[in-house]
Amino acid sequence: MTLQLQHVTKKYKDFTAVNDLNFTIEKGEIFGLIGQNGAGKTTTFRMILDLQETTAGTITWDGKSVNAINRDVLGYLPEERGIFPTMKVEDQLYFFGELRGMKKAELKKEIDFWISRFELEEKRKDKAETLSKGNQQKVQLIASFIHKPQFLILDEPFSGLDPVNKDLLKDAILLLKEQGTTILFSSHQMDNVEELCDHLCLLKRGVSLFSGSLLDLKKQYGKIKLAVRTDWSTTQLLAL
């Protein structure tokens, strides 16, 4: 599925959240939306998902308007972590899977796979509220793509995860890409982006600063930052 944003603008009464945003995400690629807090990332996602209306501009999926597509081909991990606190982890995943039109039998296979991959076997029957924050986030992440969406949106998926879990998540994203899922994710840190993204968009206060491939970005704005730590003196170093 190709997603195309053309001149998308979102204005509130006294504030413009997103201003004339343009980018295209091709099928099967990973696209990063980078920006500080308040740059307009979540608003952009909500417009793409038809949770909010655009003030101007068009958003199309394979040429079709956002409100015309079958929503079950989409997956979404909101920035604010949220699952049903009193529902068991497993029930939670079945519920979200079924809500997206999956059969119980198909779901069982998927749930077994992802629960073991994210090392949640012991928590399977626990209520979500008893889990640690990181584990809750993993459950919610699985819930967002348990129905094998064609297009997956992850809003700040790395925030709050420890390095081990960050790696688990990166591997999962790459695996989903291999399976043909198109992925759009946001981050306020470049380091996660470099390893994953094919293309990206830099957003600042609702305005796009750059949109294109990572290589082009480096060519345009690239700087080499080299840090050397040694007990040599400056003269010795300069003599090198």
Partner 1 sequence: MSKFNLLMTQLYKSKIKSRSFVLMTLLYVAIMSVAVFWSDIKELFTGDEEAQKIAIVNETSADFSEIFVSNGDMEFIQDETNNKVLEQKVKDEKLAAIITISDENGQLQAEIATFTPLKLNDQTTISSLLQYAGKNYAVQQLSLSSEQAAQIMDAQTVISNKNLNEETVGGKSEEEKQSGLVVSYAVGILIYFFISTFLSMITTEIASEKGSRAMEMLLVSVKPATHFKAKIAGVLLLALTQMGFIAVVFLVYAKFVKGGAVWDMAAGIVKELSVGYVIYAIVFLLLTIILYLIIGALFGSLVSKVEEAGQVLMPAIIITMMGFYVMLSGMGNPDTILIKVFSYIPLTSGMIMPMRIGATDVGVMVPLISLGILVATIIVAYVFSLSFYKRSVLTYSTGGVIQKIKTVLKVTT
Instruction: State the residues that interact with partner 1 by CB under 8 A.
Output: 12-13, 46, 49, 51-52, 71-72, 74-76, 78, 80-87, 95-96, 98-100, 140, 143-144
Q: Given the complex with partner 1, which of 74 and 201 has the nearer CB atom?
A: 74
Nearest distance in Å: CB 83, partner 1: 6
Q: Given the complex with partner 1, which of 139 and 173 has the nearer CB atom?
A: 139
Q: Given the complex with partner 1, which of 51 and 164 has the nearer CB atom?
A: 51
Nearest distance in Å: CB 189, partner 1: 22
**Secondary structure of the chain in the HEC alphabet?**
CCEEEEEEEEEECCEEEEEEEEEEECCCCEEEEEECCCCCHHHHHHHHCCCCCCCEEEEEECCEEHHHCCHHHEEEECCCCCCCCCCEHHHHHHHHHHHCCCCHHHHHHHHHHHHHHCCCHHHCCCEHHHCCHHHHHHHHHHHHHCCCCCEEEECCCCCCCCHHHHHHHHHHHHHHHHCCCEEEEEECCHHHHHHHCCEEEEEECCEEEEEEEHHHHHHHHCCCCCCCCCCCCHHHHHCC
Q: Given the complex with partner 1, which of 37 and 220 has the nearer CB atom?
A: 37
Q: Given the complex with partner 1, which of 51 and 175 has the nearer CB atom?
A: 51
Nearest distance in Å: CB 13, partner 1: 5
Nearest distance in Å: CB 40, partner 1: 14
Nearest distance in Å: CB 191, partner 1: 26
